[in-house]
Chains A and B, each alone.
Chain A
Amino acid sequence: MKHTTVLIGNFGSGKSELAINMALSSVKSGKKTVVVDIDLINPYFRISERKSLLEENGIKLIYPRYAMTGVEATSIPPEVYSVFIDDHETVIFDAGGDPTGAIALGQYRANFAELSRLDVFYIINGRRPLSSEVDQNIALLDKIQSSARLSITGLVNNTNLAHETGIFDLLFGYDLISHISEQTDIPIAMTMGTAPILDELSKYIENGTLDQRYIGKLYPIKRYMHRDWDTFTHLGI
């Protein structure tokens, strides 16, 4: 059965990072997978920049026309409609950041409504600016939700400082996301991070200091999107 996941959240929250990881693990388990890059507002840092990685792994990528050409006004191809009815088993939508970025999703409201298996995940990186306080996150989440015309089904804790991430960053995110979940009644779907960080988190879980409700599934990721200094010099912006 078709399983569709929509990833929304603030700029730099880790939507594309999660999308790539989900897509790669989906094809590994033998599922026909498509990724839809539906970001119309940011000319940089889109999942389509990893087009060859996705396609080499047998993942289909649909992306806005003129994306990655340096042109700033891109447009969504009609092909996007096909993912609602074709035989792809895993469909991942990677939206643009903030409420403006989520607007592009709104046009598919009727199509999303017909899906029997739909996850809408809201990704939070508590170490990003304007994302470290409960109220800021809830205000933003409400706006993104309404411009996407979708209800968020799960929160994702992706609190990190890129290569400098430590367990205390993820624990900061745990605390933050637990309050957000309490106030919004949205469950926590997953906590993502690199394997070593999640191993450390597991120790906290084992000794009972953390509440499983605020962790969800532990989702180990590899970093494909984030550009540290060295990759920047080779790949540009």
Chain B
Amino acid sequence: MAKKLMKGCEAVAEAAIQAGCRYFFGYPITPQNDIPEYMSARLPKVGGCFLQAESEIAAINMVYGASGAGARVMTSSSSPGISLKMEGISYLAGAELPCVIVNMMRGGPGLGSIQASQGDYFQATKGGGHGDYHMIVLAPSSVQEAIDLMQDAFDLADIYRTPVMMLADGIIGQMMEPVEFKETTKKRELPEKTWAATGWKEGCGRDRAVINSLYIENEELQEMNDRLQARYATIQAEETRCELYNTEGAEIILCAYGTIARICKSAIALAAKEGVKVGLVRPITIWPFPTDAMRNAICQDSVTSAITVEVNAGQMFEDVRLAVDGKKKVDFLGRPGSFVPTAEEILDKIKQIRRA
């Protein structure tokens, strides 16, 4: 198919439709409005349903309903809107319902700003909603990668019966890049949704499907939690993804995800010109976090220290430090809010650390 010039938001929406998503429920917020805008134009043409809900809370509960009925469904929002959805996300996790949630992060906390940020890493990977649950969290670093990960997002949700979040920042959402929609060559085997509430009648040969996250009896709640934890362990073992860039024999390792990782690559090229070998570990799944790959890259003998680069006050920084477990020095470059570091600033930090 010919390439198109697309914004990340438009691309994510089209990729979702091509991945079979037919239901979208959402509420407007900048910088992700182009997703519902696109969905509202396209979904009715493919026999789907777009609905602008009265609030984010309503939207996420519509996702719960559609998913419970077995549909491929998604919602999207930006930071403050995702906070509103958090209760619903916890319920989706508890009821073991697959769905895709896109967060085009903006500056925070509170209403923050409409510029790009990475302030929602904790929220996405450490819960956000209540209870012991996780979402699979995918972090694209280009518009093309956002497209490519969308099919995976829906498949992973169905395979593991879990909400999957695509965590991108406003730059991915708003930046226009030439992109391609490739035919998916290897489709994953998807389990049948025997649990879905698709209509029951006497003598239909199966039990009633009950979509629920309420377990009054301690033993039953324990059973559900054990089931979730076992599933999370499988996800950690099977679905952890990251990109290793120039890491072998590097002196310094940068750790970054999303668009910031892309800026790090420019910094790595600048450092190479000055004869300094710098590598990058870029988590593609930020939950499950690529702990082993991160540790192996940073704990090589050649590495003197690692720098985590984020647009926040140091959130993934904590996971990097846990991975390294004190074996190497891990530094941080970043600011909370919306100041995106430039390649030159990252290079300056590299130089500063080498001097020290």
Interface residues of A, Cβ cutoff 8 Å to B:
11-12, 43-45, 70, 72, 125, 127-130, 132, 160-164, 172, 226-227, 229-230, 232-234, 236-237
Q: Which of B167-175, B198-206, B280-288 lines the interface with chain A?
A: B167-175
Interface set, chain B 332-356, CB cutoff 8 A to A: 338, 340, 342-343
Interface set, chain B 157-171, CB cutoff 8 A to A: 170-171
Q: How far is the CA of A168 from the CA of B95 in the complex (A)?
A: 50
Q: How far is the CA of A232 from the CA of B171 in the complex (A)?
A: 8
Q: How far is the CA of A160 from the CA of B5 in the complex (A)?
A: 8
Report which of A44, A125, A130, A234 forms a contact with B174, defined as CB distance below 8 A. A44
CB-defined interface of B102-116 with A at 8 Å, one 1/0 digit per residue?
000000000001111
Determine the chain A residues whose CB is within 8 A of the CB of B3 once the complex forms. 127, 161, 164
Decide yes or no: A172 and B266 within 8 Å by CB, A43-B30, A162-B178 being known contacts: no
Interface residues of B, Cβ cutoff 8 Å to A:
2-7, 10, 14, 30-31, 34, 38, 41-42, 113-116, 170-171, 174-178, 259, 262-263, 266, 338, 340, 342-343
- Besides the known contacts A130-B38, A132-B2, A236-B340, 20 further A-B residue pairs in the complex with CB atoms under 8 A apart: A12-B5, A44-B174, A70-B113, A72-B30, A127-B3, A128-B4, A129-B4, A129-B6, A130-B42, A132-B4, A161-B5, A162-B5, A164-B178, A229-B262, A232-B171, A233-B266, A236-B116, A237-B115, A237-B170, A237-B175
Decide yes or no: A70 and B115 within 8 Å by CB, A127-B4, A161-B5 being known contacts: yes
Q: How far is the CA of A56 from the CA of B178 in the complex (A)?
A: 31
Q: How far is the CA of A233 from the CA of B343 in the complex (A)?
A: 8
How far is the CB of B127 from the nearest CB of chain A, in Å? Answer: 28
| Contact between chains at A236 and B38 (CB < 8 Å) | no
| Contact between chains at B5 and A230 (CB < 8 Å) | no
Decide yes or no: A233 and B175 within 8 Å by CB, A72-B114, A162-B5 being known contacts: no
Report which of B14, B178, B338 forms a contact with A161, defined as CB distance below 8 A. B178
Determine the chain B residues whose CB is within 8 A of the CB of A236 once the complex forms. 115-116, 171, 338, 340
Q: Determine the main DSSP class of B at the interface with A.
A: mixed
By beta carbon, the residue of chain B nearest A161 is B178
| Contact between chains at B175 and A229 (CB < 8 Å) | yes
| Contact between chains at B7 and A12 (CB < 8 Å) | yes
| Contact between chains at A230 and B266 (CB < 8 Å) | yes
By beta carbon, the residue of chain B nearest A228 is B177
Q: How far is the CA of A9 from the CA of B197 in the complex (A)?
A: 45
Q: How far is the CA of A11 from the CA of B41 in the complex (A)?
A: 14
Determine the chain B residues whose CB is within 8 A of the CB of A227 once the complex forms. 175-176
Among B31, B175, B259, B343, residue most surrounded by chain A Cβ atoms (within 10 Å) = B175
Determine the chain A residues whose CB is within 8 A of the CB of B116 once the complex forms. 236-237
12 A–B contacts, CB within 8 A, in A order: A43-B31, A70-B114, A72-B30, A125-B5, A127-B4, A127-B5, A129-B38, A230-B266, A233-B262, A233-B340, A237-B114, A237-B170
How far is the CB of B98 from the nearest CB of chain A, in Å? Answer: 26
Q: How far is the CA of A140 from the CA of B31 in the complex (A)?
A: 23
| Contact between chains at A128 and B114 (CB < 8 Å) | no
Q: How far is the CA of A232 from the CA of B174 in the complex (A)?
A: 10
Among A132, A172, A229, A234, residue most surrounded by chain B Cβ atoms (within 10 Å) = A229
Determine the chain A residues whose CB is within 8 A of the CB of B170 once the complex forms. 237
How far is the CB of A30 from the nearest CB of chain B, in Å? Answer: 34
Q: How far is the CA of A110 from the CA of B3 in the complex (A)?
A: 42
How far is the CB of A11 from the nearest CB of chain B, in Å? Answer: 8
Q: How far is the CA of A163 from the CA of B259 in the complex (A)?
A: 19
